[in-house]
Amino acid sequence: MNNILALPRVMLGSWPTPLQPADQLSRQLGCRLYIKREDMTGLGGGGNKARKLEFQLGQAINDGATHIITTGAIQSNHAQLTAAAARRLGLQPHLVLSGQPDKQRRGNLYLDHLMDSELTFVSPPAGRPPLEVINETMVQVAKSITNQGGTPYIIPEGGTDALGTVGYILAVKELVQQISSMQMNAKRILIVVATGTCGTHAGLIAGASIISNNLFEILGVSVSGNTDIKIEKTARIATETLSLAGYEQTIDEGQVWIEDGFIGSRYADITEACRNAIHQTARSEGIFLDPVYTGKAMAALVHMGQHGQLSKYDAVIFIHTGGFPLLFNYDYAIL
Q: How far apart are CA 61 and CA 69, in angstroms?
A: 13
Q: What is the tens place of the pLDDT at every residue in 276-332?
A: 999 999 999 999 999 999 999 999 999 999 999 999 999 999 999 999 999 999 999
Residue 138 DSSP code: H
Catalytic residue ranges: 76
Nearest residue to 16 (alpha-carbon basis) of 33, 36, 2, 34: 36
pTM beyond 0.95: yes
Q: Report the C-alpha gap between 319 and 199 in whole angstroms.
A: 13
CB proximity list for 50: less than 8 A, separation 6 or greater: 12, 13, 41, 42, 43, 81, 85
pLDDT for 126 equals 86
**Eight-class DSSP state of 324:** G
Kindly indicate the confidence band of residue 102, based on its pLDDT and cuts at 50, 70 and 90.
confident
Per-residue pLDDT tens for 146-167?
Answer: 999 999 999 999 999 999 999 9
Q: Are 220 and 180 in contact (CB under 8 A)?
A: no
Compute the average pLDDT of residues 224-249: 98
Looking at the chain, which residues constitute the CATH 3.40.50.1100 domain(s)?
4-47+160-333, 49-158
CATH of 49-158, one of 3.20.20.70, 3.40.800.20, 3.40.50.300, 3.40.50.1100: 3.40.50.1100
| Yes or no: domain 4-47+160-333 corresponds to CATH 3.20.20.10 | no
Q: How does residue 94 score in pLDDT terms, banded at 50, 70 and 90?
A: very high
Q: What is the mean pLDDT of the chain?
A: 97
Closest among 313, 34, 47 to 200, alpha carbons compared? 47
How far CA 182 is from CA of 29, 179, 210, in Å, comes to: 21, 5, 21
Q: Is the pLDDT of residue 101 over 90?
A: no
Average pLDDT over residues 25-41: 99
In this predicted structure, the answer to whether residue 189 has a pLDDT above a threshold of 90 is yes
pLDDT band of residue 46 (cuts 50, 70, 90) is very high
Question: Radius of gyration (Cα) for the chain, nearest Å?
Answer: 19
